[in-house]
A and B are shown apart, each in its own frame.
Chain A
């Protein structure tokens, strides 16, 4: 999902990467990413947590929980 939105650069992402370190990760691509993940994993995030999943690690941890 990361690759589909950020392209090949996403291969190099580490858990700490997020809007602060990836220029293309802005508020629009953040939502695109969250929605694409929901579709891919067949789940829904709660409204309040969506703006706070601000790194690859956060998202991974949330999906693992």
Chain B
């Protein structure tokens, strides 16, 4: 049923993966091609050792699920380097573009699996080295003409394995060599930068290698993916692409009754709730494990429940089967307010945007309330049977990040330290006294191998304390860092309570006698700590030492960065020009100075 009042994206989302028929995919894809539907345009250049033209409808529909208006350039059967030598794939009008490479070794060498032990055949290592080299060359050719991420499929063991059921008993089997090759691929992609593994092998394994390929389709069309798996293929690739492009959600907000445990604690009492090692309590306990797993990798946990706070506290303190503890919770709203009001308060308290929240609540009425009032929040469609909660949680693409940083792993501890700091702040009185009591240590440095990924992550994810919101890729940032007339700086912060890691970065570019601050980004966790002042003091010193006469700062307004709109004027920069809200400020280096904040120890790069 066609309903114009519901957006096409919503219709796709409501259908859920795996519920659309092939004909429905085709129909929706036709609709998508007809107009833009407010989707964000992006092109993929799809290069594969098999034909890909049958996947279009699936790819376009699954792309729209994540808000992408996808256009696809097919390289043609088995073409990699050659496909990029022409210019027909380069999009016009700044449309973002991503490269996707899917190379199967059995397509490069059809004898690979069947004649793996043939005497005198070319070694696997030689074939693998050649494959990796072709991938690298292809990515480099892409980068010559376009900026954008590269997603490269890893290698999946072939369906028919040389040693059959004993494949895993041989240390140098084809399968074990392929696993080794995938590690080599990862290393190669890290060196290239802004290049990521698309876990094709994981996809094949989770769908089932036995039925992954339809021999009819392979014979007739050299298509490696069976019809039934094509939607999964598309969904997996698009989920990977969104994870590379969109900043991840930062916080999981959980309901309590019938979500974290069975039953209603207000009615059943703390001893009466359902949780434990046997069904049905085991379903909730398993869900709590999965939730804690997200916390371990840097997702904040918050509680939002209509309940009596004292009763809830008793459960968290005393119930032996509850795995989550108060320490695991970054913030909570246990009261009788509407969920949407509570979510707004939670976002404000945690200093993150509403679009960084994922809401998990078993009650469809509450979910509908949040969906209608706060469309920015991701609302999980929670299944009615709690044994499927874990699956629903893992289906949330919003938490996907291409690479975990040290900061991600330490984030939960860092927020806990923030709560202790808040207590100290309340005791300290003035802000200066409080900052002095923190025993802050700042360390400056320039972009290097260990900081490059985190710097790119800050640039991609930070919305609020971001002066110009120029979303430069890791590759671009590294190129700027290599220039003589430019610089990329980072700042690490530690204090009495925690090492917060790399929390700020700046890109500066020389223009004649001026040093221009192209980008200045500070993690919101480190805001209001004098970090912005220290960074500008440092940049002013750098500019002076490098012989510039002025330091220029830009502010480009977005929906989210109002909080830094007056940063440069607070730091005594003079307003030079203003157009459409974008402002350029300058600091005369000969006559003006920015002090480092008091009571902070500074470790600099020379």
Contacts and interface: CB of A to CB of B under 8 A. Distances in A.
Interface of A: 1, 3-5, 7, 27-28, 31-32, 35-36, 38-40, 44-47, 50-51
Given A28-B53, A47-B216, A47-B220, A35 B22 contact: yes
A47 B23 contact: no
A36 B54 contact: no
B27 interface: yes
A1 B21 CA distance: 10
Nearest to A7: B30
A31 B22 contact: no
Interface in B203-226: 215-217, 219-221, 223
Contacts of A27: 221
A36 B57 CA distance: 12
B591 to A, nearest CB: 69
Contact of B23 (A1, A45, A46): A1
Given A1-B23, A28-B53, A32-B26, 15 more contacts: A4-B24, A5-B23, A27-B221, A31-B220, A31-B221, A32-B57, A35-B54, A35-B227, A36-B26, A40-B22, A44-B216, A45-B216, A46-B216, A47-B216, A47-B220
Given A4-B27, A28-B53, A32-B54, A40 B21 contact: yes
Contacts of A45: 216
Contacts of A5: 23, 26
Contacts, number: 49
7 contacts: A4-B24, A4-B26, A32-B57, A35-B217, A40-B22, A45-B216, A47-B220
Contacts of A38: 227
A50 B223 CA distance: 15
A15 B223 CA distance: 29
A65 B459 CA distance: 62
A39 B220 contact: no
Given A47-B216, A50-B220, A28 B23 contact: no
Interface in B16-39: 21-24, 26-27, 30
Contact of A39 (B21, B54, B215): B21
B30 A39 contact: no
A21 to B, nearest CB: 20
Contacts of A31: 54, 217, 220-221, 223
A50 B53 contact: no
A51 B54 CA distance: 15
Nearest to A35: B227
The 8 closest A-B pairs by CB, nearest first: A4-B26, A36-B22, A4-B23, A4-B27, A47-B216, A39-B22, A35-B227, A36-B23
Contacts of A51: 220
Nearest to B28: A4
A4 B23 CA distance: 6
B26 A28 contact: no
B77 to A, nearest CB: 12
B74 to A, nearest CB: 10
Contacts of A3: 27
Contacts of B215: 47
A46 to B, nearest CB: 8
B209 to A, nearest CB: 20
Interface in B34-59: 53-54, 57
Interface string B223-234: 100011000000
Contacts of B217: 31, 35
B160 to A, nearest CB: 18
Nearest to B221: A31
Contacts of B228: 39
Interface in B260-302: none
Contacts of B30: 4, 7
B182 to A, nearest CB: 30
A47 B22 contact: no
